[in-house]
Structure 1
Amino acid sequence: MDSFGFYNSSIGLNSDTVSVIAQCRGDVQLQACRDCITNATRKILEVCPYKRWALGYYDRCMLRYSNESIIGNVANQPGRILANGLNASSSDEFMGDLRTLLESLRSQASVRK
């Protein structure tokens, strides 16, 4: 896991390859991020045993694994959705951070075209 709370990897050979991607929210400290990924790993394997792919969103992180390449492939149909109905503690700060994030992503995407 890098210092930005992002990790991706693949292991295996040919059709026996599994890929994983993990990411934490930007406001989560690195150790809390690692703890979330550890717990998410346990939970996703408990809830989705023997599945070829799974996608889990948790309070502080998300985890996805698949028997297909993940990078560049969108997962948009999870089988189970659990939503957190709580609001941000400071909506102005949240929206400012979101705007900064989206502008950064837009800039990065335009460079990679």
Structure 2
Amino acid sequence: MDKSILRTIFEHESCRGTNAVQAARNSNDEYDKYIVYHKRTHVRGWYERFRSGDFSLEDHAHGKPNLKVDNDMLKEVVEANPSQTLSELAEQFDVSHSAISDHLLQIGKV
């Protein structure tokens, strides 16, 4: 089932005054149980948006941005000064420690 159809259903359920769990149950009764069951947490997220007054049906950016580090540049920086800490590298590239760690693994500099 198309995501926009599910969102419209959840918006309708929200306007009817049902909560997220009731909306999931109602949708399970009417539509494919597998889809709605696995989206129960997602239903709660839509309800939070509706309660805040946001009724747009488009996806919003969420989570951490997908930060990239140029592996060639990182390799040059590490080879120029191999004693730098993860914190120093993370600050220099303006990314998280885990991002630097992942990229160090990719270039074989652990």
Structure 1 length normalisation: TM-score? 0.21
More strand by share: 1
Higher-Rg member (1/2): 2
